[in-house]
Amino acid sequence: MHKILPYERWNQYYNSSYDEKSPFAGKEYNYDLYSENIYGYYIDPAWDFIGSETLYIKIIFVDYEIKFAVIEMIGEWNDAINNDIMQLKRSILEFMMDYGINKFALIGESVMNFHGSDDCYYEEWFEEVEDGWIAGINFHEHVENEMKKFNIDNYINMSGSLSIDKWRTLTPHKFYELLDGLIMRRLSA
């Protein structure tokens, strides 16, 4: 797991430690020290702790004008034991929503498992984004299936056209345009 890095090509557009509106503003990273781990497997120091022992994130892009954020995730999303959605919502998402962010892309390629509980925090988050949306991008099929068992797909758009293998080839704004178009088509159908 230590070889799985958050996507770095967009650092030229955004860096959460340089963004004074970010929950990670001013954070200094020691890339020589691997101290964080998930189930005993060290992860790259670039990943950010959100209060969960099993789920880490990296905010890889934010644009406050279009109210859009991209969050990459790694680990196991465990609502049953760690209440990861509560940790994520209270420590990261609410902070971002206070600055107007209402469109969220969650990159789930490195989320290996999902263990659900109830959907209260998802419903709350969904209601709070009002005119925005939440998109789950490239989660593994077994993770999406588990999320669907707990009705998370009622709040997070996922699957189908949101399996976007080429997202890394796009600039953040082209990625936003693609996502926004796909979500709007789903909403109007």
pLDDT tens for each residue of 99-155: 999 999 999 999 999 999 989 999 999 999 989 999 999 999 999 999 999 999 999
Which domains occur in the chain, in start order? Answer: 9-188 (3.30.750.24)
d(CA 186, CA 182): 6
Segment 168-188 mean pLDDT: 93
The confidence score (pLDDT) of residue 3 equals: 83
What are the φ and ψ backbone dihedral angles of 63, each rounded to 5 degrees?
Answer: -130, 110
pTM of the model: 0.96
167 sits in the region (left: phi over 0; alpha: psi -120 to 50; else beta) called alpha
What are the φ and ψ backbone dihedral angles of 177, each rounded to 5 degrees?
Answer: -60, -45
Contact partners, residue 125, CB within 8 Å, separation at least 6 = 85, 89, 93, 134, 155
d(CA 106, CA 170): 16
**3-state percent helix, strand, coil for the chain, nearest multiple of 5:** 35, 25, 40
